[in-house]
Amino acid sequence: MEVPFGALLAAIFLKDNLGWIRALGMALALVGVALIAGAPNLENQLFSIFLVILGAFTWALGQIMIKKMASITGFQLIAWIAFFAGPQMLIASLLIESGHLESIKSATIVGWGTVIYLGVIMTTVGYGIWYHILKKYNVNQVMPFLLLMPVSSIIGAVLFLGERPNLITITGGATIIVGVAIIVFPGQRSSNV
Protein backbone atom coordinates (compact mmCIF):
# COMPACT_ATOMS: atom_id res chain seq x y z
CA MET A 1 0.00 0.00 0.00
CA GLU A 2 2.99 2.33 0.33
CA VAL A 3 3.24 2.57 -3.45
CA PRO A 4 -0.31 3.72 -4.29
CA PHE A 5 -0.31 6.02 -1.25
CA GLY A 6 3.07 7.43 -2.32
CA ALA A 7 1.83 7.98 -5.88
CA LEU A 8 -1.30 9.73 -4.66
CA LEU A 9 0.56 11.94 -2.18
CA ALA A 10 3.23 12.78 -4.79
CA ALA A 11 0.51 13.88 -7.21
CA ILE A 12 -1.11 16.07 -4.51
CA PHE A 13 1.94 17.61 -2.81
CA LEU A 14 4.70 17.40 -5.43
CA LYS A 15 2.61 17.64 -8.60
CA ASP A 16 4.22 14.40 -9.90
CA ASN A 17 2.42 13.20 -12.99
CA LEU A 18 1.65 9.49 -12.71
CA GLY A 19 0.10 9.09 -16.16
CA TRP A 20 -2.01 6.19 -17.36
CA ILE A 21 0.88 3.96 -18.47
CA ARG A 22 2.61 4.14 -15.07
CA ALA A 23 -0.76 3.68 -13.35
CA LEU A 24 -1.32 0.57 -15.47
CA GLY A 25 2.13 -0.76 -14.57
CA MET A 26 1.48 -0.07 -10.88
CA ALA A 27 -1.88 -1.83 -11.02
CA LEU A 28 -0.26 -4.82 -12.74
CA ALA A 29 2.48 -4.97 -10.11
CA LEU A 30 -0.12 -4.81 -7.32
CA VAL A 31 -1.94 -7.75 -8.94
CA GLY A 32 1.36 -9.64 -8.75
CA VAL A 33 1.70 -8.77 -5.05
CA ALA A 34 -1.85 -10.04 -4.48
CA LEU A 35 -0.98 -13.30 -6.24
CA ILE A 36 2.09 -13.78 -4.04
CA ALA A 37 0.26 -12.84 -0.83
CA GLY A 38 -2.71 -15.04 -1.61
CA ALA A 39 -5.97 -14.54 0.20
CA PRO A 40 -5.24 -14.46 3.91
CA ASN A 41 -8.10 -14.89 6.35
CA LEU A 42 -9.11 -11.34 7.28
CA GLU A 43 -12.14 -12.26 9.34
CA ASN A 44 -12.31 -10.25 12.60
CA GLN A 45 -9.11 -8.44 11.63
CA LEU A 46 -10.48 -5.01 10.65
CA PHE A 47 -8.54 -3.11 13.31
CA SER A 48 -5.31 -4.89 12.37
CA ILE A 49 -5.93 -4.13 8.69
CA PHE A 50 -6.59 -0.49 9.57
CA LEU A 51 -3.28 -0.29 11.47
CA VAL A 52 -1.34 -1.81 8.56
CA ILE A 53 -2.95 0.60 6.09
CA LEU A 54 -2.34 3.54 8.44
CA GLY A 55 1.31 2.48 8.77
CA ALA A 56 1.68 2.32 4.98
CA PHE A 57 0.11 5.77 4.63
CA THR A 58 2.37 7.21 7.32
CA TRP A 59 5.48 5.74 5.68
CA ALA A 60 4.44 7.11 2.26
CA LEU A 61 3.79 10.54 3.79
CA GLY A 62 7.25 10.40 5.37
CA GLN A 63 8.80 9.71 1.97
CA ILE A 64 7.08 12.81 0.56
CA MET A 65 8.40 14.87 3.47
CA ILE A 66 11.91 13.50 2.89
CA LYS A 67 11.64 14.32 -0.82
CA LYS A 68 10.96 17.95 0.10
CA MET A 69 14.02 18.18 2.40
CA ALA A 70 16.47 19.67 -0.08
CA SER A 71 19.31 20.55 2.28
CA ILE A 72 20.12 17.09 3.68
CA THR A 73 21.59 14.02 1.99
CA GLY A 74 20.31 10.47 2.41
CA PHE A 75 23.21 9.44 4.63
CA GLN A 76 22.89 12.59 6.77
CA LEU A 77 19.23 11.77 7.23
CA ILE A 78 20.07 8.23 8.38
CA ALA A 79 22.59 9.65 10.86
CA TRP A 80 20.01 12.02 12.33
CA ILE A 81 17.39 9.28 12.52
CA ALA A 82 19.86 7.07 14.39
CA PHE A 83 20.82 9.94 16.68
CA PHE A 84 17.23 10.49 17.79
CA ALA A 85 15.73 7.00 17.44
CA GLY A 86 18.60 5.02 19.00
CA PRO A 87 18.18 6.35 22.56
CA GLN A 88 14.38 6.08 22.33
CA MET A 89 14.58 2.45 21.24
CA LEU A 90 17.11 1.65 23.99
CA ILE A 91 14.84 3.14 26.66
CA ALA A 92 11.79 1.33 25.26
CA SER A 93 13.71 -1.95 25.19
CA LEU A 94 14.85 -1.53 28.80
CA LEU A 95 11.29 -0.74 29.92
CA ILE A 96 9.42 -3.39 27.95
CA GLU A 97 11.81 -6.29 27.41
CA SER A 98 13.90 -8.38 29.77
CA GLY A 99 16.91 -10.70 29.60
CA HIS A 100 19.22 -8.28 27.81
CA LEU A 101 22.50 -9.59 29.24
CA GLU A 102 21.51 -13.21 28.69
CA SER A 103 20.65 -12.46 25.07
CA ILE A 104 24.03 -10.78 24.51
CA LYS A 105 25.93 -13.64 26.17
CA SER A 106 24.10 -16.36 24.25
CA ALA A 107 24.10 -14.64 20.84
CA THR A 108 25.60 -16.76 18.07
CA ILE A 109 27.67 -15.61 15.12
CA VAL A 110 24.49 -15.75 13.04
CA GLY A 111 22.73 -13.52 15.57
CA TRP A 112 25.55 -10.95 15.57
CA GLY A 113 25.78 -11.16 11.78
CA THR A 114 22.06 -10.44 11.55
CA VAL A 115 22.40 -7.41 13.83
CA ILE A 116 25.33 -6.08 11.79
CA TYR A 117 23.52 -6.70 8.50
CA LEU A 118 20.32 -4.98 9.67
CA GLY A 119 22.16 -2.07 11.28
CA VAL A 120 24.86 -1.41 8.71
CA ILE A 121 23.93 -2.90 5.35
CA MET A 122 20.14 -2.70 5.30
CA THR A 123 19.57 0.46 7.31
CA THR A 124 22.63 2.60 6.71
CA VAL A 125 23.57 1.62 3.16
CA GLY A 126 20.13 0.57 1.89
CA TYR A 127 18.14 3.51 3.20
CA GLY A 128 20.99 5.94 2.49
CA ILE A 129 20.89 4.92 -1.17
CA TRP A 130 17.05 4.87 -1.14
CA TYR A 131 16.84 8.45 0.17
CA HIS A 132 19.48 9.63 -2.32
CA ILE A 133 17.50 8.14 -5.23
CA LEU A 134 14.21 9.44 -3.80
CA LYS A 135 15.60 12.98 -3.81
CA LYS A 136 16.98 12.65 -7.34
CA TYR A 137 13.95 11.19 -9.18
CA ASN A 138 10.18 11.62 -9.15
CA VAL A 139 8.44 9.69 -6.39
CA ASN A 140 6.32 7.88 -8.99
CA GLN A 141 9.51 6.58 -10.64
CA VAL A 142 11.10 5.39 -7.40
CA MET A 143 8.26 4.02 -5.24
CA PRO A 144 7.30 1.17 -7.61
CA PHE A 145 10.65 -0.48 -6.88
CA LEU A 146 9.20 -1.31 -3.45
CA LEU A 147 6.94 -3.76 -5.26
CA LEU A 148 10.03 -5.85 -6.02
CA MET A 149 10.47 -6.69 -2.31
CA PRO A 150 8.15 -9.73 -2.40
CA VAL A 151 10.07 -11.00 -5.44
CA SER A 152 13.44 -10.61 -3.72
CA SER A 153 12.01 -12.26 -0.60
CA ILE A 154 10.94 -15.28 -2.64
CA ILE A 155 14.35 -15.46 -4.34
CA GLY A 156 16.01 -15.33 -0.90
CA ALA A 157 13.72 -18.05 0.41
CA VAL A 158 14.61 -20.27 -2.56
CA LEU A 159 18.36 -19.63 -2.31
CA PHE A 160 18.83 -19.67 1.45
CA LEU A 161 15.93 -21.73 2.83
CA GLY A 162 15.46 -24.23 0.04
CA GLU A 163 11.80 -23.32 -0.43
CA ARG A 164 10.07 -24.09 -3.71
CA PRO A 165 7.47 -21.54 -4.85
CA ASN A 166 4.29 -22.75 -6.53
CA LEU A 167 3.09 -21.65 -9.97
CA ILE A 168 0.88 -18.87 -8.56
CA THR A 169 3.83 -17.38 -6.66
CA ILE A 170 6.07 -17.53 -9.73
CA THR A 171 3.32 -15.95 -11.83
CA GLY A 172 2.90 -13.22 -9.22
CA GLY A 173 6.63 -12.51 -9.21
CA ALA A 174 6.75 -12.31 -13.01
CA THR A 175 3.70 -10.02 -13.01
CA ILE A 176 5.38 -7.68 -10.52
CA ILE A 177 8.55 -7.52 -12.62
CA VAL A 178 6.56 -6.74 -15.80
CA GLY A 179 4.54 -4.06 -13.98
CA VAL A 180 7.64 -2.37 -12.57
CA ALA A 181 9.32 -2.56 -16.01
CA ILE A 182 6.35 -0.72 -17.51
CA ILE A 183 6.68 1.98 -14.86
CA VAL A 184 10.41 2.60 -15.22
CA PHE A 185 10.81 1.98 -18.98
CA PRO A 186 13.05 4.84 -20.22
CA GLY A 187 10.68 5.88 -23.01
CA GLN A 188 7.88 6.46 -20.53
CA ARG A 189 10.11 8.57 -18.28
CA SER A 190 11.18 10.90 -21.06
CA SER A 191 7.63 11.38 -22.31
CA ASN A 192 6.48 12.14 -18.73
CA VAL A 193 3.16 10.30 -19.12
- CA angle (130, 63, 71) in 5-degree steps: 75
Q: Read off the pLDDT of residues 114-163 as tens digits, 9 standing for 90 and up.
A: 999 988 888 888 888 888 888 888 887 888 788 778 788 888 888 988 88
pTM recorded for the entire structure? 0.71
CB 2 within 8 Å of CB 30: no
Q: Read off the pLDDT of residues 89-109 as tens digits, 9 standing for 90 and up.
A: 999 999 999 999 999 999 999
List phi, psi (to 5°) of 36.
Answer: -70, -45
Nearest to 19 by CA among 7, 2, 28, 29: 7
List phi, psi (to 5°) of 99.
Answer: 75, 30
Q: How far apart are CA 155 and CA 146, in angstroms?
A: 15
Residue spans of the domains in the chain: they are 2-191
